[in-house]
Amino acid sequence: MAAVFDRIAILGAGLVGGSIARAALESGAAAAVMLYDTDASVRRRARELNLGEVSDAVADAVRDADLVVLAVPVGAMAAALRTAAPALKRGAIVSDVGSVKQAVVEALEPLLPAHAYLIPGHPIAGTERSGPDAGFATLFHNRWHILTPIADARPEYAAAVTRLEEFWRALGANVERMDAAHHDVVLAVTSHLPHLIAFNIVAMAEDLESVTESEVVKYSASGFRDFTRIAASDPTMWRDVFLNNKDAVLEVLGRFSEDLAALQRAIRWSEGDALYALFERARRMRREVIEAGQDTAAPNFGRDTSQ
């Protein structure tokens, strides 16, 4: 494949940053990949893994890059761009992979030099692992990548968005454009609330007096274990998500709690028909997720069948 970008720089060599590096090199979407991480041990590990050319200074990584991807927790985006900004080349595209978009735009826009283009983005892909060893080149295959372009009327900006779309498609992703505010509501439902609930039930289970932690672990195959996977995700990343998407998260959380209270009442009053109707309805969504290619059709995600 002809490279979409001659040189890209990725700031942050964790699960997502490391996966972009691998995918860009394997696909040939970038001719050269520069990497930087604030953590010296992560830089060392990224070098051992040959994730790209690892720099010990942000400016060296960023200097000649056509695309700079900020792959750090949402709360660290501003600091990353602040150190990178003076070294950005003319016409450089700055993008990110944050799970929240409005707060990122607000944080980054004021720091961007006039000769660069800001195109926020969010790959809807990941695992519960973190760090440079967690990444892999196929992470974005058949997953959606959402771009939330800002209000930038320059014709070069539109061309830059098209080029960034091309890059993500080269990494195997499907690309969608969306308004940043709408992104934050959609992701509050599909990602932030599910993670919050998983963190909550796992922490709650640890605190119970009537059931020991070892019993919870032992009998976790009855449903609980699924929640422990999501709750194993990076705590720094998730703290920043909740601090930076407060309004949308509190809104959907309010709806969730309201519906849960109604369900609680249906149980207390033995309303079997209401419970059945709700469970039956919830069942349909699974088929749609599988038909959309967003999950495996194998029972138990295929993990248990040594058949």
Rule CB under 8 A: which of 159-188 touch a second copy? 176, 185-187
Q: Which is nearer to a second copy, 159 or 275 (CB)?
A: 275
**Minimum Å distance from CB 168 to a second copy?**
15
Residues 59-118 that bind a second copy (CB under 8 A): 99
Q: Which is nearer to a second copy, 112 or 189 (CB)?
A: 189
Size of the site for a second copy (CB under 8 A): 112
**Minimum Å distance from CB 303 to a second copy?**
4
Q: CA of 100: how far to CAs of 71, 150, 193, 268, 299, in Å?
A: 12, 14, 13, 38, 32
Taking the CB of residue 146, how many other CB atoms lie within 10 A of it?
Answer: 22
Strands (E) across 2-123 are located at: 5-11, 30-36, 53-54, 67-70, 93-96, 117-118, 121-123
**Is there a contact between 84 and 11 (Cβ–Cβ < 8 Å)?**
yes
Which of 127, 132, 148, 166 is in the footprint of a second copy by CB under 8 A? 127
Residues 257-276 that bind a second copy (CB under 8 A): 257, 259-261, 263-264, 267-268, 270, 272, 275-276
Binding mask of the shown chain, residues 228 to 257, with x at each position contacting a second copy by CB under 8 A: xxxxxx-xx-xx--xx--x--xx-xx-xxx
Residues 187-226 that bind a second copy (CB under 8 A): 187, 189-208, 210-211, 213, 215-226
**Minimum Å distance from CB 7 to a second copy?**
26
Q: Which is nearer to a second copy, 95 or 245 (CB)?
A: 245
- What is the distance in angstroms between the CA of the first residue and the CA of the last residue of the chain? 40
Phi, psi of 34 (to 5 degrees): -100, 145
Closest to 18 in 3D by CA, of 39, 3, 270, 241: 39
**Minimum Å distance from CB 149 to a second copy?**
18
Contacts of 227 (CB under 8 A, 6+ apart): 197, 198, 201, 202
The answer to the question of residue 304 lying near a second copy (CB under 8 A) is: yes
Phi, psi of 175 (to 5 degrees): -110, 140
Candidate segments 27-35, 49-57, 63-71, 279-287, binder of a second copy by CB under 8 A: 279-287
